Structures are given as structure tokens and as C-alpha cells.
Amino acid sequence: MGSKARRRVGIYVGLLVPFGSASCLGAELPAVQFVKSRGVLRILVGGKPMATYCYADKQITRPYFAQVHAPDGTQVTRNHPPRENDSKDHALWHPGLWQAFGDLSGHDYWRLKAKIVCDGFVEQPKGTAGRGTFAVRNRYLTTDGSKTVCTETCRYTILVRPAGYLLMSDSVFASETGDFVFGDQEEMGFGVRLATPIAVNKRQGGRILDSQGRRNEGGIWGKQADWCDYSGTVGGHKVGITIMSDPRNVRRCRWHARDYGFMASNPYAVNAFTRGPRSRIVVKRGQTHRLRHGVLLHGGFDDPPAALRKAYKDYLKLIAK
């Protein structure tokens, strides 16, 4: 089969395995599959869509995950592009789930003023029962596109866990040509835009909860926590997303959490949230800077605080290996 034909049908990686209980974490786990085509990597679990990783979009000039689903098949991120009944704000800035920075050496990748270019896969997508992995190399360009500020090698791991589907992100930033600086803005780190019905301000039962027991924008915005969960009901299905921060990140994350259906984990900003001293995280030429997060896609819990604490402990064990 020629290369053009392969692009048309996609490249499938993985083996379908009968699905038993996720809690068994054994041979009956559903397989993680990848379908690769030009600029897009579809991720499936047990043959059903989990997310679409987009890495060559002409409008959204940074990689992102769109149409992200919970284990029961319910979409937990806002439709991309927004549909008739969706909130329409920040349609390009908030395509689903993404990592970006509003101030990296003075360049703004969050608002798409500067580009993040994917140079390709350094580890090709590989799927097995209950697990999938791939890694990409990204270049952060200056606003005029003439130079590279730094590079990022980002490894993604998708796991079927007792609490749901866990997407782990592990990024290493470096530059051999000069220093680079992570600045102090709200819009820095790992963000997600939730499905419109989950938004707290839609008054359909949505709520935000952090590891300290605080709730919603008024209690959480700008505060430090290990994890933050945004949950609600979509079409009668209880679903949610939890972003968990590696405690070895540069500092404990503050949360840019909004009742309109958005949250982001930000380990960089201080002044933007507290009006205290401005933060500047300088990475010297030839050195590396590591940033890691876990994203849990789940179907809701009878006792959310206890279940999420347990899921966070599970994440910590996984990244300790």
C-alpha cells in the first residue's frame, strides 16, 4: 500500500481486547489504539473515541487535544469548534485540552500570537491493552517566527485506571542557543475547557473542587492545590476532568479556575494571582526544565473528595516509577 493510501485509511496501532472491569488492571483491559493521519492523531480506547490530538492546525498554532471523552463515551470538553448551544467565547484559545504559555521569554503562545511548531514524533504511537504512548518534539518560535526560543520533548501516556482514563503529560524544555524565561501570567500551564453543560454558571449541577476542599471560582481561583476537578452532568451522564500536578514541578500550582467552564494548572505565576513579587523562572542555555501533569477523565464518584485523593495517590505512584 502506498503512502497516499495509508494517509487515507489511517494507521491503526493497538489490539482490541475484551473489556472487563477497569479495576482489575489485567488482561481484560480495553486496548488503546491510535489512528494517525495528516496533522491529527485519533486516540481510541476499546475501539471508542477518547480524544483527538491535533498537532498541525493552521488556525490554532499550538498542539491540543479536542473532543475529549470520559470512559462511558460522554464528551467532557467543549465541542471544537463550538456548536449552536455551546458558549462561544475563546473558541480558538480553548479548543479542548492543551498546554501553553502566555509569557515565555515575552512571547504569547496562549493567545496564539506566537507559534508552537511540531517537528514530528520522536516516539511513534504505540498501543496495547490498557496503555498507549507517543512523544513529539515541539519548537517554540519567536512572535515574528524568525528564531526558536526553546524546544520541548513531550511524552504522553494514556492508561486505563480504576478511576477512569489517565492522560499523563511529561515535557522537557531546553535550548542550546540561549536562556529562556517562564513569566508571570494567569495563562500559563495546562488548561481545559469543559463541555458547556458542566460550567458552574450554567446552573446545571456543575462544580469545581480542589485538593483542599475548596469549591468553585470564588474559593479556588489563585489558590495553591495538588489537583483540581471540574465535574457535572452531560445528557444525564455524570462526568468530569481532574488535572493533577506533579509535586516536583517548579512550584505547587495555583489554579486559574473559572465558573464559565475553564481551569488551568499554573506553577509559574505569583504576582498574577497574589499581587506579590513577580516570578521569573529562568532556564539557562544547555539546562532543562521539566513540567508534568496527569489528567483524569472520569464518570463521577459517590464520594468525590475521597475518590479523587485516591486517584491522585495512584498518579503519584505511577510517576515515581
* Residue 119 in domain: yes
C-alpha cell read off for 236 = 444525564
Phi-psi region at 307: left, alpha or beta (left = phi > 0; alpha = psi -120 to 50): alpha
Q: What CATH number does residue 201 fall under?
A: 2.70.98
Confidence label for 265 from pLDDT (cuts 50, 70 and 90): very high
What's the mean pLDDT in 235-259? 98
* Residue 307 in domain: yes
Secondary structure in 3-state letters for 161-188: ECCEEEEEEEEEEECCCCCEEECCCCCE
- Long-range Cβ pairs for the range 136-141 (8 Å, 24+): 136/55, 136/63, 138/63, 140/104, 140/107, 140/109, 140/114, 140/116, 141/107, 141/114, 141/115, 141/116, 141/117
- The predicted pLDDT at position 283 comes to 98
| 3 state DSSP class of 98 | strand
Closest to 48 in 3D by CA, of 81, 75, 9: 75
Contact between 72 and 237 under an 8 Å Cβ cutoff? The reply is yes
* Residue 142 in domain: yes
Which residue is associated with the grid cell 494517525?
36
* Residue 200 in domain: yes
Instruction: Report the distance separating Cα 120 and Cα 137, nearest Å.
Output: 6
Confidence label for 51 from pLDDT (cuts 50, 70 and 90): very high
- The predicted pLDDT at position 28 comes to 87
Strand order in the sheet with 32-37: 11-13, 32-37, 40-45, 48-54, 64-66, 97-101, 188-193, 262-266, 254-258
Query: Rg of the chain's alpha carbons, rounded to an integer?
Result: 19
Instruction: Report the distance separating Cα 70 and Cα 52, nearest Å.
Output: 13
Number of domains observed in the structure of the chain:
1
pLDDT tens digits for 98-128?
999 999 999 999 999 999 999 999 999 999 9
Mind giving me the DSSP string for 202-257? GTSS-EEEETTS-BHHHHHTT-B-SEEEEEEEETTEEEEEEEEE-TTSSSPPEEEE
* Consecutive H or E run containing 71: none
* Residue 37 in domain: no
Instruction: Report the distance separating Cα 158 and Cα 46, nearest Å.
Output: 13
pLDDT tens digits for 193-245?
999 999 999 999 999 999 999 999 999 999 999 999 999 999 999 999 999 99
Question: What is the model's pTM?
Answer: 0.92
Task: Decide if pLDDT at 25 tops 60.
Answer: no
* Residue 30 in domain: no
* Residue 14 in domain: no
Confidence label for 321 from pLDDT (cuts 50, 70 and 90): confident
**Cβ count near 81 (within 10 Å):** 12
- The predicted pLDDT at position 319 comes to 97
* Residue 31 in domain: no
Instruction: Report the distance separating Cα 276 and Cα 253, nearest Å.
Output: 16
- The predicted pLDDT at position 12 comes to 38
Mean pLDDT over all residues of the chain?
93
Secondary structure in 3-state letters for 250-283: CCCCEEEEECCCEEEEECCCCHHHHCCCCCCEEE
**Cβ count near 3 (within 10 Å):** 7
What range defines the domain where residue 206 resides? 76-320
Which residue is associated with the grid cell 476499546?
46
Who contacts 244 (Cβ-Cβ below 8 Å, separation ≥6)?
226, 227, 293, 294, 295, 296, 311, 312, 315
